Amino acid sequence: MKVAFFVAHFPVLSEPFILNQIAGTIERGHDVHIYSLDGPPQDVSKVHPLVEQYNLLERTIYAPTRPENELWRWIKGLGLILTHFHKNPSVCLQLLNTSRYVSQAKSLKMLYRAIPFLEKKSYDIIHCQFSTLGVFGVWFRQLGLIEGKLISTFRGSDISKFLPKWGEQVYHELFQETDFFLANCEFFKNKAIALGCIPDMIHVHGSGIDCSKFFFKERHFPDDGIIRVATIGRLVEKKGIEYVIKAIAEVAKTYPYLEYNIIGDGELKAKFEKLSAELNISHIVKLLGWKQQQEIVEILDNCHIFVASSVTGKDGNQDAPVNTLKEAMAMGLPVISTLHGGIPELVEDTISGFLVPERDASAIAKKLIYLIEHSEDWAKMGRAGRARVEANYDMTKLNDELVEIYQQVLNSELPRHLSVKPLTLTK
């Protein structure tokens, strides 16, 4: 099969779930092209090993980067029109049709993202990662810029944060024109159905991890007495890291021998540094920045407890079962997470860890104290977490399933007769 992946930026270190699907499709012998519709990311100093292993940059076609400054955006946009107009004159004019594409034409997003397709592209499968990109897949196919069966995945922000801004009718055309849908958890599948997606046209296909890269180890109370806690994620509101910092400060009053490792970067870094200083725990909180996969494995190998405290953002943004949680569970760490989005589909409360309410630092602190005082539970919780991830989120199984879905969509056997056997969540 010839498969096109639509992504926003590429490669992005915080999106290994997309890389895993791309690599899995290549491994199974299919021809893959990646369309980075918003151009390359600003920071490419660190990339996931899969990018080099599969020479993914050679497979990537970049749309022009759209300037933030409106004046420069229009100047550059006019230049793009002059340069590419001869390739497809009628479509170039339609890309500026504000009555049809409204804000996406006014902001020139339609124009910039369409540039790679002005000379028609043909694929068997066009897989849009995030359904906000699926909308463009529908439009480009309607304009005759690309042909192929269209699959769109709901991943999180596209079915949560995106809705308050654009309204619940935003996917009306997508639901009518797309050949099949995936959702990375039941929580987002149900939200899509509530918005108008036909239930037979959507299938839960989780984000997988390579369990062989995250080796299991039983956790025991450390000889040096220092309890090492870890969190991985972007330093943004949705990840709820400030509540973990507050919880660590509360726990440190009784158990001062702590180390809290935060892997990631983002807009709230300065705020977290200030908060740690105000709570007198700057010596405990380690803001480590982004790390490559092997570096993450080495850090987690030396930790004892993992916390992922996702919260619903003020903009409505929500998480699916978080990949970093899967990685920590695969490595045998007991976890603390929140009753949020799709996370309860991954973490079984009291079995592989604990689930607490969102934005509740005291609840996180209580569970941390419990785990510190009951280290005999760590190994049992770790084994349960590893088993859960292996059963439901193994990348090899999920990539086999994904390619089978592609083949059935291509053969018009989906959506009405989904014969792919869904991966059933273990109890």
Query: In terms of domains, do 359 and 270 share one?
Result: yes
Number of residues that make up the chain: 427
**Helix-, strand-, coil-residue percentages of the chain, each rounded to 5:** 45, 15, 35
What is the side-by-side order of every strand in the sheet holding 146-154?
Answer: 60-62, 31-36, 2-7, 121-129, 146-154, 180-183, 202-204
More confident residue, 24 or 43: 24
How confident is the model over 379-400, as pLDDT tens digits? Answer: 999 999 999 999 999 999 999 9
User: What residues are paired with 255 via a beta bridge?
Assistant: none
Q: Residue 89 contacts by C-beta under 8 Å, 6 or more apart in sequence?
A: none
6 and 99 share one domain: yes
Do 230 and 184 share a structural domain? no
- In the prediction, which pLDDT does 420 show? 46
Residue 219 structure tokens: 């956790």
pLDDT in tens, 287-323: 999 998 889 999 999 999 999 999 998 888 888 898 9
The two three-digit tokens of residue 183, written as one number = 């959702």
The three-point CA angle 84-89-94 to 5° equals 105
Phi, psi of 8 (to 5 degrees): -80, -75
Residue 194 sits in the same domain as residue 215:
no
Residues 348 and 261 in one domain: yes
In terms of domains, do 188 and 66 share one? yes
Instruction: Tell me whether strands 353-356 and 335-338 are parallel, antiparallel or unpaired.
Output: parallel
Residue 237 lies in a domain: yes
Domain assignment present for residue 417? The answer is: no
Domain limits for position 98: 2-208+396-410
Looking at the structure of the chain, the number of domains it has is 2
The answer for residues whose C-beta is within 8 angstroms of residue 323's C-beta and 6 or more apart is 16, 17, 207, 209
Closest by Cα among 196, 145, 207, 156 to 174: 196
Asked whether residue 85 is assigned to any structural domain, the reply reads yes
CATH number (domain holding residue 329): 3.40.50.2000
Spatial distance between the Cα atoms of 28 and 316, rounded to a whole number of angstroms: 37
Q: What is the pTM of this model?
A: 0.87
